[in-house]
Structure 1
């Protein structure tokens, strides 16, 4: 089932790490819904996880560091393409949409003011800015098929490989050999480390801790208390993300329905009453600490590789 949270994360994933960090959305089905058309709920925001951290964040770049790595990669790619006589400008960064950072919506909604207007949906003004920027990016002049091969090497769609000319198919462009992985591959080798700075191990452990946290006994217990709280307000769901994932709560041109808004406000009120996000976050923190202890050597090596990549990126950006 595709949830509103999934749609937001998939859209915002164009920025870089966010989708990886927020993987693991609940797939629970709502057990039913008996809310009146205009339920009365207490409007009060729950805890704001956007100011929190998780232990695995120590092994991945900050937002600013990720942007530094991206700028250095783009500079190296541009220099490589220039050597082939190809003019290229990277697409501008898309505006933010949805969560503020890695933790903001990891445990669900929490801002009653936003939910009173948008329910479980992203701010339509953010969506409109993002869609406009995406259309502008799509309208930019495209590189030729052969030049795209220089850009990405053989890591391009199969149909593109069928369209390139004979020289490019042999691995050359303008008489020069195309580097392995194209100019992007060459840039990433120069910087070292992993794309966007997070190693496969770091990404896996960050992703795995989310579903594991929902199996924690204390989290299951607080979910049960949240569910009872919701039922007392006329809403029947087994767990918080089941309300978030209700298939009736889809983006609509006319905005969120009264029913969606009432559900979201009841959800937040019950989260606040029972400290759902706090208990959930504490459980995931324990799980990540255990993962770090069990992978200490590999994670220390990943952190050293990230630091080396950041130093190299700073050198690339400092030179004229």
Structure 2
């Protein structure tokens, strides 16, 4: 997609998003099957936001991510306070785009939404998000020296260059700055960057998506979808090609009638041929095979995540 929706989907490693909300999964569960029946809105295709993928068993849920973030912020604030620095973290940004990892992974599916916005994000949601970004950018910032205390050597080079000689040597107010700053110290306390999936989980989740499009059953259903669209007057080789149509870029006046008509035809053909269902089944098979091939490493990743969650709970329980 070349729309604002696409930028949201692909930010954070090919829709593994991360920081995007994820559907819940059972701690330590080795694999999650597709539900027997998906929720379907009248006139829409199946709703993948109600589904799961096996790799979700190895990454934090939405609430777990928030718990880890709260614990990290608390630890960072305590660390900065020891240096005499008053710090208020930026507020959480409002939701924008997909509901979770699966919502738009296989493309659009909500006819009611697409009848208004085509392939685009709800403009009101986009406006709230951009307003929050502007407000965050306008907030007072820490001094360059204090930013080194916050992020250590991970801060941008220009910040390090503008910081004073003491901070550049790794000290602030006579105290040594922890490696990676207060953020680095907090993450070590919690057990690494546990708010996001491990590199292995991220890689396997990213890899399964393009691999699923090479599955013979997926290629076959794409061909049926393409023929369905052709019969309606639209020529696209595969579903995501319609999303990626350069004509369908965000516009101040909103989606054009051509974009909306295309999106509704797209959803109709998806629903008729079960595109998302077949695609999701293929990706589920691929992820299950990946889990079987990486069982030991993934189990270790899950144990590390569970340990981080216990540490986060302990941090938050302290006064």
Fold similarity call, TM over 0.5? yes
Distance 1:229 1:4 in 2: 27
Distance 1:289 1:317 in 2: 35
Range with greater deviation from structure 2 (224-233 or 189-198): 189-198
Q: Structure with the greater relative contact order (CA < 8 A, sep ≥ 6): 1 or 2?
A: 1
- TM-score normalised by L of structure 2: 0.90
Aligned CA distance change for structure 1 residues 16 and 111 (closer, same or farther; 3 Å): closer
The answer for unaligned runs of 5 or more in structure 2 is 23-41
Distance 1:145 1:312 in 2: 31
Distance 2:129 2:20 in 1: 16
Give the secondary-structure state (helix, strand or coil) at the position aligned to 2:153: coil
* Other-structure match for 1:6: 6
* Other-structure match for 1:28: none
1:106 aligns with 2:99: no
Could you tell me how far 1:156 is from its partner in structure 2?
Answer: 1.2
Moved segments of 4+, more than 2 Å: 1-6, 8-13, 18-21
Give the secondary-structure state (helix, strand or coil) at the position aligned to 1:154: helix
Give the secondary-structure state (helix, strand or coil) at the position aligned to 2:142: coil
Aligned CA distance change for structure 1 residues 16 and 230 (closer, same or farther; 3 Å): closer
Distance 2:57 2:88 in 1: 32
Distance 2:20 2:128 in 1: 20
8 A contact 2:20–2:100 mirrored in 1: no
* Other-structure match for 2:18: 17
Give the secondary-structure state (helix, strand or coil) at the position aligned to 1:253: coil
1:84 aligns with 2:54: no
Distance 1:121 1:184 in 2: 35
8 A contact 1:2–1:245 mirrored in 2: yes
Aligned CA distance change for structure 1 residues 10 and 88 (closer, same or farther; 3 Å): farther
8 A contact 2:73–2:89 mirrored in 1: yes
Aligned Cα RMSD in Å? Answer: 1.8
Give the secondary-structure state (helix, strand or coil) at the position aligned to 1:196: coil
Aligned CA distance change for structure 1 residues 116 and 262 (closer, same or farther; 3 Å): same
Distance 1:202 1:12 in 2: 13
Distance 1:131 1:115 in 2: 21
8 A contact 2:194–2:305 mirrored in 1: no
Could you tell me how far 1:20 is from its partner in structure 2?
Answer: 11
* Other-structure match for 1:210: 209
Could you tell me how far 1:160 is from its partner in structure 2?
Answer: 1.2
Deviations 1:8-40 (A, max 9, x none): 335799x9614698xxxxxxxxxxxxxxxxxxx
* Other-structure match for 1:131: 130
* Other-structure match for 1:32: none
Distance 1:5 1:172 in 2: 43
The answer for unaligned runs of 5 or more in structure 1 is 22-42
* Other-structure match for 1:24: none
Deviations 1:188-241 (A, max 9, x none): 000004341411000000111000000000000000000000000000000000
